[in-house]
Amino acid sequence: MKHLQAVNQKAEVVETTQAAESQTSTEDVVGLAQPLGCTTIYNPGWEANAWGGVNAMCAPMEADLLGCANVCWWPAQVPDSLQNYPEWAKACSGLNQEDWRNLEVVFPKVR
């Protein structure tokens, strides 16, 4: 803080927190005005189907990974399929619920 100088430990904590916060936006949080990504699609593995069926639920995390990487990209930690691991999801057609079974295993490249 420019015009106030911290004198006790709490003030130092306040200053550090304020400094960190001012790196990002200090505006109020505004709710997302439109649906994005996986909120627009039906992604089995998360949800009961339209008839209340649960047969698509309890998919393993690989299904989620694939769904996040291919169908709806969000920053899940999936292998880089553009440059380094193009084979990772090559065998997945993107058309059926069991696609995740065709994911490849990748290992980090040693430089």
- By CB under 8 A, name the binding residues for other proteins: 1-11, 13-14, 18
CB of 33 to other proteins, least distance (A): 24
Out of 28, 64, 80, 99, pick the active-site residue. Answer: 64
Assess whether 99 carries a catalytic annotation.
Answer: no
Gap between the Cα atoms of 78 and 62, Å rounded: 10
> Whose Cβ is closer to other proteins: residue 9's or residue 93's?
9
CB of 23 to other proteins, least distance (A): 14
CB burial readout 45-64, b (16+ within 10 A) else e: beeeeeeeeeebeebeeebb
Q: What is the DSSP letter of 95?
A: S
CB of 24 to other proteins, least distance (A): 14
> Whose Cβ is closer to other proteins: residue 12's or residue 80's?
12
Torsion of CA 20, 22, 25, 31, to 10 degrees: 60
Return the H-helix or E-strand segment holding 12.
Answer: helix 9-23
> Whose Cβ is closer to other proteins: residue 18's or residue 84's?
18
Residues with a catalytic annotation lie at 64
